[in-house]
Amino acid sequence: MIFEHSEKVKNLQNKLYAFMEEHVYPNEKVFEQQLNDQHDRWRQIPSIMEELKQKAKDEGLWNLFLPDNKYGAGLTNVEYAPLCEIMGRSLIAPEVFNCSAPDTGNMEVLVRYGSDEQKEKWLKPLLSGDIRSCFSMTEPDVASSDATNIEMDIKGHGDHYVIHGRKWWSSGAGDPRCKISIVMGKTNMDASRHEQQSMILVPLDTPGVKIERMLPVFGYDDAPHGHAEITFDQVRVPKENIILGEGKGFAIAQGRLGPGRIHHCMRLIGLAERSLEELCKRVQKRSAFGQPLSKQGVIKEWIADSRVEIEQARLLTLKAAYMMDTVGNKKAKKEIAMIKVVAPSMALRVIDRAIQAFGAAGVSDDAPLARFWATARTLRIADGPDEVHKAQIAKLELNDWN
Amino acid sequence: MIFEHSEKVKNLQNKLYAFMEEHVYPNEKVFEQQLNDQHDRWRQIPSIMEELKQKAKDEGLWNLFLPDNKYGAGLTNVEYAPLCEIMGRSLIAPEVFNCSAPDTGNMEVLVRYGSDEQKEKWLKPLLSGDIRSCFSMTEPDVASSDATNIEMDIKGHGDHYVIHGRKWWSSGAGDPRCKISIVMGKTNMDASRHEQQSMILVPLDTPGVKIERMLPVFGYDDAPHGHAEITFDQVRVPKENIILGEGKGFAIAQGRLGPGRIHHCMRLIGLAERSLEELCKRVQKRSAFGQPLSKQGVIKEWIADSRVEIEQARLLTLKAAYMMDTVGNKKAKKEIAMIKVVAPSMALRVIDRAIQAFGAAGVSDDAPLARFWATARTLRIADGPDEVHKAQIAKLELNDWN
Amino acid sequence: MIFEHSEKVKNLQNKLYAFMEEHVYPNEKVFEQQLNDQHDRWRQIPSIMEELKQKAKDEGLWNLFLPDNKYGAGLTNVEYAPLCEIMGRSLIAPEVFNCSAPDTGNMEVLVRYGSDEQKEKWLKPLLSGDIRSCFSMTEPDVASSDATNIEMDIKGHGDHYVIHGRKWWSSGAGDPRCKISIVMGKTNMDASRHEQQSMILVPLDTPGVKIERMLPVFGYDDAPHGHAEITFDQVRVPKENIILGEGKGFAIAQGRLGPGRIHHCMRLIGLAERSLEELCKRVQKRSAFGQPLSKQGVIKEWIADSRVEIEQARLLTLKAAYMMDTVGNKKAKKEIAMIKVVAPSMALRVIDRAIQAFGAAGVSDDAPLARFWATARTLRIADGPDEVHKAQIAKLELNDWN
Amino acid sequence: MIFEHSEKVKNLQNKLYAFMEEHVYPNEKVFEQQLNDQHDRWRQIPSIMEELKQKAKDEGLWNLFLPDNKYGAGLTNVEYAPLCEIMGRSLIAPEVFNCSAPDTGNMEVLVRYGSDEQKEKWLKPLLSGDIRSCFSMTEPDVASSDATNIEMDIKGHGDHYVIHGRKWWSSGAGDPRCKISIVMGKTNMDASRHEQQSMILVPLDTPGVKIERMLPVFGYDDAPHGHAEITFDQVRVPKENIILGEGKGFAIAQGRLGPGRIHHCMRLIGLAERSLEELCKRVQKRSAFGQPLSKQGVIKEWIADSRVEIEQARLLTLKAAYMMDTVGNKKAKKEIAMIKVVAPSMALRVIDRAIQAFGAAGVSDDAPLARFWATARTLRIADGPDEVHKAQIAKLELNDWN
């Protein structure tokens, strides 16, 4: 039982902290400004982003998420966790280090399950940060928390598949650099429940693929990344675009979602940590009723509650990461479900307290908090709503006692 | 102890319910569409709004908020509460009935404290819905939860006052029809703590008044209404623009805020009620894991918790309204503080459950819920943050036992 | 919509308040002392109780719970609520005024459904306070939250019924004056689900009735009242002891439980109100870290939260009472379920805050709070656990929207 | 970052688990029965306890709490944590292994600060389990959460000290084997705030020491251990009974309370873990409304929430233990405060859910849950109330950002 990171990790932490201070935080407003200076927030990626990516690459802070030694940094989940947390402190940071969702998940899928050709064509430019990708699983017409509800049709015709259906919340599809989607659909309605689905690579410029609209999140467009509703109207792609083979969609999804979920949690801890820092600074600068806000008992309680909640969630994340590293994602499913339930709610409470401490500034964009909150709120739903994960935890728990 | 509304009120409720069904709900998306169809969401008021206002006027559903018989509907707070709640079910509705903040508060101030000339010039066009107004109290540089912190300077010079300072969250100032602001500032730094402030009428086209920017709320611009940061740079207005007299600002604020606060609460109850309705409809339409969401125990708990929380908040609002009607706003200050603490948090919980039940649709604009949530969230801060009201309640409570 | 009690009620409130101050509070410790002075806390009723009962009778504060004009005070539920609340402020008070559970519920059953003979034999001495009674419904071997689970057997044999089974939580059976139990069992296993049960009067001295043990509640024995586990071993009672007729048990239970539940809630509000009063007094007397506890922000928050929670629960109780008075217990079932869910949890939160403010004294018997808490805790289970009531509320709510 | 215990610890865990199954759980009711079989629950220690102690000693499961190699097992805090948790699963277990409060804290004080003579006289028989001890710090007349409030007077007179004052919550003083108290008082009112206090050894049979009464906790007497109110009326003890020297009381208290607090937390995790186990077993055995309780969504939510809360609290406890082991108790004060705030509330929530799942059995003594709850509740107060620890955490946190 050792609660300390290795020297390797500490060094990377220090480098990341310094990079964030020097390059990321000061450029958050620059990024937003460059977006706003365009006629259309979706047209172009703010140039500052490519500059920052180059800097990160130069410093070796690149693809740290990828446990694979050949393609990425080869860090374990436990090693990556504290680094991912630091990146999570700014909404623009993960992309700077090529560690942003859904690309990370897509890259992992390609590393693990992709054919050599798929790797060459899609993994390489993703790893270099030249293109981006999206993941099309959720559908507007069914409760997608139950993955067996998915209706998208993928039919084989000779050397092609024909894909037909509607997806939404394909995050990242708004980005002009987004070239490829991993699409989940059903190749065989008659197979057993968990072998009906397949995953297939669909280039976004394939005829029949249409971005219908970009969905806002609590009023934020999240440009240039964005969340797309996409129709696939009899879209034809070659057979070799299938990943791993027909009927493997559910299995890949399970493999993909473990790391994806825990990365979200690591980032949320960073988000919460930064919010608490903002709160602590603010309440020492403002006074009301004759004393600094920091002297007021209720605010002290907010700080203490935030600290204990963050710390516990961080430890649980690390424990889950440790389990993934030691017994594998499948056996760690209870721990993954646990942290997926804990981290978003924890972050929401901490951020909300910070908003309250900031008063009116907190709900506006002068502080980063309102957008932090909106981002965290989606994660009580994305990758499985709380209720589904809790039911899963309970089921596993009950199994121990029956 | 009678828990029923009078026949007069029931009739008005029925008329309002019918009006909402027929005219308001179907036009929420029309309003938003007309805003978006403009090059600039701030340029013009969607024409549907003026059409709806005319219809409401024609049906006598106009200025119901104003307890004054001469200028308004002459309803008591208890009578107005259930009507205001209905209007609160749609974010565009209050304006349709000329019952939207901050105009309602401003009109009340003018009715109660305005000179005949002020009434003629500003009250009349506000009552007819021809112009709109804003209220400039909060300042960016101080914790405005403590009103004695206010720094805006109002200096008499001959027959003019010269106003200098910076305000923000002047809601409604974005509207092209917004012509006048009631501004709070200090006329006498040497007076006792509660007699330093004055309120003064400042036409927005006065030289030196500049809208610096519009503040977003969780990503929403709230156009065309909006929330403005305004600088007042040596702004000169005639002495007769002062309301009630120098040093009366704090007293007017107290009078203004009581009804203002409870109106917010009434609307929040409507917002929560509609959210619960949306939740109940949704969960009967969607299925996951083999049964409708409505059969799942956790969702039943959300519904039950929402129902008991709404009902209790409604009763407390009505009780506070009753106290205001019977013992006056001043003696009802504990009840007003209580409901101001209760209603926003209650609404946030109910709306949040509805969002969760809607899944991804809940955080987007397909459902009205995300924007409802953002609106409700501001009300844990606006008109005094929860903490300040709670301290007030505790103080009054402790007084009973020392 | 009138939030004031009638003059009649106000007069009774004043009489009750005075009686509590003069006779009840000062005798709480006397009652406990007299119990402890006996060799056995179950042997005898402390003499102070009979003295207080006589005083209450003399002042006309007797049987106020009974809406029936002939046998009781003839008050409506709305009229009784604020009076019951006052009695609820002391755990010994309800009996003083002959308004304590389960006798009140039993008396109501007899008034409404009892035969003339049953009234003569059992109702009369209960009304005069000469005997006490218990109610035997819950069973140890099944989840009694679902009343159809009940297993006790009642079989007709000639002019007798033979009763066989085991009951627990027959509260009040420990009292030496307790002479009669209303027992719920099944007379016909083949009838439809809600017509299998019957209620029958069983004198506790009937051969075969055996009190097996008294159950503690969080360490409290609740002597001399107590909570009994009782076996009924082939107990024979004459056929005329059945109430209303075979198969009517479920219907009577529904009629009985409505008033029973709301009375519990009224008393809980009194309990919470007294706890808040104790808290407010305490924190003004104690100092830590250089100031009275009452100046500390967190404690002010406890007070404010308690006040708003009590007030809301009280209003909801009154609303439910009003519904029972105006549309009847059956149509008021949603309101009754709502208050049954709200009041115990509210009281527990308020009492728990008071305990915390009292520190170590709070968990001991120096303050009345720990026992208040234990009492309130049982009411999240008794007369239907929260979960069952919430499911009921949700079902009724969903019905409005399908 | 390693989340696994050493082989040494795993072996001890296995031995303890086996011992608990074989010897402790089956004897919980025996212990209670032996207590009840006496005329007076305070007279004698149930014989089963001495038998179990001997067995534990024989198996080397003795004094595991003591980090000192010479006198105890020499385990680190991290090593002891999972063992202490197991002992915490039964209220009678800690004494079986000679690891129960307040003896553990007292032994630690003597090991660290006691003179050779004090060790010989008091430490040895405590280590062997021949006598027991209590700790007299809290006073009834002041808010003892602020240790500077303490009023007990310790005056030097020649070769003696004269001790005068009143203490309460001297836990363990009810035990006939309890021979010695460590008493905290003030030797010098004029010294600086944290050097006024001293700790002194007072044999309970010294003239002038009088146990006034035993205080119940939520109705439980906690016999034969118990919680005493003790008066010290001009009690004379020799000068050599002072520990470490005059004015060292506060410093010793700080040293003593760190381990004391974390031991409580370790045990609370065991208590919560056992409660969750009881819950899981129960809900699979009971049915209502046509299905086992374990299939009901709300109950699944209770289970999941309990699991994530326990797991997080456990990790935080281990982290705090690790800090104590690596940077020392003083530098770990934030972590100690954090876990002291987290563990009792967590345990209370988990136990309360188990109570609710057990229904009426849960509040009685048929399940161990009600008493678990009462025990856990005291720990939101004992060794510093939550509020004080939270203020401490906030202060340390704010220091990082000013």
pLDDT tens-digit profile of C262-302?
A: 999 999 999 999 999 999 999 999 999 889 999 999 999 99
User: Residue C254's pLDDT band (boundaries 50, 70, 90)?
Assistant: confident
CA distance B240 to B235: 15
**What mean pLDDT is predicted for residues B89-115?**
97
Tell me the two tokens of residue B333: 């200050």
Cα dihedral B62, B68, B71, B73 sign: positive
Q: Nearest residue on chain D to A295, judged by CA atoms?
A: D395
Instruction: Kindly give the pairing relationship between strand D178-186 and strand D132-136.
Output: parallel
Q: Which residues contact B40 (CB under 8 A, 6 or more apart)?
A: none
Using an 8 Å Cβ cutoff, are D370 and D364 in contact? yes
Q: Nearest residue on chain A to B369, judged by CA atoms?
A: A218
pLDDT, tens digit, for every residue of B276-299?
Answer: 999 999 999 999 988 999 999 999
Quick check: helix, strand or coil at residue B352?
helix
Query: What are the Cα distances from residue B359, in Å, to A142, D301, D305?
Result: 10, 18, 21
pLDDT, tens digit, for every residue of A299-325?
Answer: 999 999 999 999 999 999 999 999 999
CA distance C347 to C349: 5
Q: Nearest residue on chain B to A367, judged by CA atoms?
A: B218
List chain A residues with CB under 8 Å of D315. Answer: 312, 315-316, 319
Neighbours of D293 (CB within 10 A): 22
CA distance D354 to B66: 53
Q: Which residues of A touch C (CB under 8 A)?
A: 296-301
Q: Nearest residue on chain B to C335, judged by CA atoms?
A: B308
pLDDT recorded at residue D81: 98
Q: Which residues contact A126 (CB under 8 A, 6 or more apart)?
A: A103, A106, A107, A110, A132, A133
Longest dimension (CA), chain D: 78
Tell whether the model's pLDDT for residue C146 goes beyond 90. Answer: no
pLDDT recorded at residue C93: 98
Tell me the two tokens of residue D39: 């005329």
**C-alpha B260: how far from its chain's center?**
6
pLDDT recorded at residue B374: 98
**What mean pLDDT is predicted for residues C68-89?**
96
D162 beta partners: D155, D236
CA of D345, closest CA in chain A: separation in Å?
12
Tell whether the model's pLDDT for residue A159 goes beyond 80. Answer: yes
**3-state DSSP: chain B helix, strand, coil percent, rounded to 5?**
55, 15, 30
Q: Which of A291, A294, A298 to mutate to test the interface with C (most CBs of C within 10 A)?
A: A298
**Lowest mean pLDDT segment, chosen from A60-64, A380-384, C145-149, D93-97:** C145-149
Q: Nearest residue on chain A to B386, judged by CA atoms?
A: A356
pLDDT recorded at residue D112: 94
Q: Nearest residue on chain A to D340, judged by CA atoms?
A: A308
Neighbours of B362 (CB within 10 A): 28
Q: How far apart are the first and last CA of chain D?
A: 30
Tell whether the model's pLDDT for residue C257 goes beyond 90. Answer: no
Contact assignment for B355 to A370 by CB distance below 8 Å: no
User: Residue B241's pLDDT band (boundaries 50, 70, 90)?
Assistant: very high
User: Residue B39's pLDDT band (boundaries 50, 70, 90)?
Assistant: confident
SS3 per-residue string spanning A173-198:
CCCCCEEEEEEEEECCCCCCCCCCEE
Contact assignment for B217 to A364 by CB distance below 8 Å: yes
Inter-residue long-range contacts of D320-324, CB under 8 Å, 24+ positions, other chains counted: D320/D77, D320/D262, D320/D265, D321/D76, D321/D77, D321/D78, D321/D80, D321/D81, D321/D262, D322/A1, D322/A2, D322/A3, D322/D77, D322/D78, D323/A3, D324/D77, D324/D258, D324/D259, D324/D262
CA of A280, closest CA in chain C: separation in Å?
17
Tell me the two tokens of residue A283: 């309440």
Size of interface A-C (CB pairs under 8 A): 17
Using an 8 Å Cβ cutoff, are B388 and B340 in contact? no
Contact assignment for D299 to B300 by CB distance below 8 Å: no
Using an 8 Å Cβ cutoff, are D168 and D207 in contact? no
Using an 8 Å Cβ cutoff, are A253 and A147 in contact? yes
Q: Tokens 């805090």 sit at which residue?
A: D77
Whether B7-114 and B132-243 share one fold: the answer is no
CA distance A331 to A350: 31
B166 beta partners: B231
CA of A168, closest CA in chain C: separation in Å?
27
**What mean pLDDT is predicted for residues B115-132?**
98
CA distance D252 to D201: 13
CA distance B76 to B67: 6
pLDDT, tens digit, for every residue of A83-117?
Answer: 999 999 999 999 999 999 999 999 999 999 999 99
Q: Which of A146, A168, A212, A218 to mutate to test the interface with B (most CBs of B within 10 A)?
A: A218
Tell me the two tokens of residue A39: 């006629």
CA distance D374 to D367: 13
Nearest residue to C340 via CA among C301, C376, C296, C374 = C376
pLDDT recorded at residue C91: 98
pLDDT, tens digit, for every residue of A265-300?
Answer: 999 999 999 999 999 999 999 999 889 999 999 999
Tell whether the model's pLDDT for residue B343 goes beyond 90. Answer: yes
CA distance C373 to C397: 31
**What mean pLDDT is predicted for residues D313-334?**
96
Nearest residue to D219 via CA among C214, C352, C365, C35 = C365
Size of interface C-D (CB pairs under 8 A): 134
Nearest residue to A220 via CA among A370, A31, A327, A346 = A370
Q: Which of D217, D229, D363 to mutate to test the interface with C (most CBs of C within 10 A)?
A: D363
Tell whether the model's pLDDT for residue C402 goes beyond 90. Answer: no
Instruction: Report the percent of chain D where pLDDT is more than 90.
Output: 93
Query: What are the Cα distances from residue C390, in Å, to B291, C113, D195?
Result: 19, 29, 56
pLDDT recorded at residue C9: 98
Which of A294, A311, A341 lies at the smallest CB-CB distance from D304?
Answer: A341
pTM of the model: 0.97
Tell whether the model's pLDDT for residue B48 goes beyond 80. Answer: yes
What single DSSP character describes residue D216? P
Cα dihedral D319, D321, D326, D331 sign: positive
- Sequence spans of domains, chain D: 7-114, 132-243, 250-399
CA distance B86 to B20: 8
pLDDT recorded at residue A148: 85
pLDDT recorded at residue B365: 95
CA distance D386 to D308: 21
Mutual angle of helices A386-399 and B297-327, in 10-degree steps = 130
Tell whether the model's pLDDT for residue B178 goes beyond 80. Answer: yes
CA of C62, closest CA in chain D: separation in Å?
31
Instruction: Report the percent of chain B where pLDDT is more than 70.
Output: 100
CA distance D294 to D281: 9
CA Rg value for chain A: 21
List chain D residues with CB under 8 Å of C227. Answer: 364
Q: Nearest residue on chain A to B138, judged by CA atoms?
A: A360
Q: Which fold has domain D132-243?
A: Butyryl-CoA Dehydrogenase, subunit A; domain 2 (2.40.110)
Q: Tokens 């906690």 sit at which residue?
A: D222
User: Residue B254's pLDDT band (boundaries 50, 70, 90)?
Assistant: confident
pLDDT recorded at residue C173: 97
Q: Which of C296, C303, C305, C356 to mutate to test the interface with A (most CBs of A within 10 A)?
A: C296
* Between B154 and B143, residue with greater pLDDT: B154
Which of B6, B316, B389 lies at the smallest CB-CB distance from C315?
Answer: B316
Tell whether the model's pLDDT for residue A124 goes beyond 90. Answer: yes
Tell whether the model's pLDDT for residue D257 goes beyond 80. Answer: no
CATH superfamily of D7-114: Acyl-CoA dehydrogenase/oxidase, N-terminal domain (1.10.540.10)
| One-letter amino acid for residue C243 of the chain | I
Contact assignment for C307 to B338 by CB distance below 8 Å: yes
For domain A250-399, give the CATH number: 1.20.140.10
H/E segment holding residue A366 = none
CA of D313, closest CA in chain A: separation in Å?
7
CA of A298, closest CA in chain C: separation in Å?
5
* Between D147 and D183, residue with greater pLDDT: D183
User: Residue B313's pLDDT band (boundaries 50, 70, 90)?
Assistant: very high
pLDDT, tens digit, for every residue of D42-62?
Answer: 989 999 999 999 999 999 999
**What mean pLDDT is predicted for residues B100-106?**
96
H/E segment holding residue B323 = helix B297-327
User: How would you label C160-188 residue by residue, b for 16+ Cβ within 10 Å and e otherwise?
Assistant: ebbbbbbbbbbbbbbbebbbbbbbbbbbe
Tell me the two tokens of residue D151: 């009023």
Neighbours of C345 (CB within 10 A): 18
CA distance B212 to B228: 7
What is the ipTM for the molecules in this complex? 0.97
Tell whether the model's pLDDT for residue A152 goes beyond 80. Answer: yes
pLDDT recorded at residue A49: 98
Which of B219, B293, B378 lies at the smallest CB-CB distance from A374?
Answer: B219
**What mean pLDDT is predicted for residues A121-134?**
98
pLDDT recorded at residue C145: 81
Which of D168, D359, D381 lies at the smallest CB-CB distance from C143?
Answer: D359
What single DSSP character describes residue B120? I
pLDDT recorded at residue D255: 78
Q: Which of B296, B303, B305, B356 to mutate to test the interface with D (most CBs of D within 10 A)?
A: B296
pLDDT, tens digit, for every residue of C134-143?
Answer: 999 999 999 8
Tell me the two tokens of residue B229: 């940061």
What single DSSP character describes residue A242? B
Q: Which chains touch D (3 or more CB pairs under 8 A)?
A: A, B, C
Q: Nearest residue on chain B to C396, judged by CA atoms?
A: B304
CA of C248, closest CA in chain B: separation in Å?
30
Instruction: Report the percent of chain C where pLDDT is more than 70.
Output: 100
Which of B277, B393, B402 lies at the smallest CB-CB distance from C284?
Answer: B402
Which of B2, B390, B401 lies at the smallest CB-CB distance from C2?
Answer: B2
Contact assignment for B78 to C1 by CB distance below 8 Å: yes
Contact assignment for B298 to D301 by CB distance below 8 Å: yes
Tell whether the model's pLDDT for residue B257 goes beyond 80. Answer: no
Q: Which chains touch A (3 or more CB pairs under 8 A)?
A: B, C, D
Tell whether the model's pLDDT for residue A257 goes beyond 80. Answer: no
User: Residue D294's pLDDT band (boundaries 50, 70, 90)?
Assistant: very high
Contact assignment for C293 to D370 by CB distance below 8 Å: no
CA distance D336 to A308: 11
pLDDT recorded at residue D104: 96
Using an 8 Å Cβ cutoff, are B145 and B178 in contact? no
Which of B3, B284, B313 lies at the smallest CB-CB distance from C319?
Answer: B3
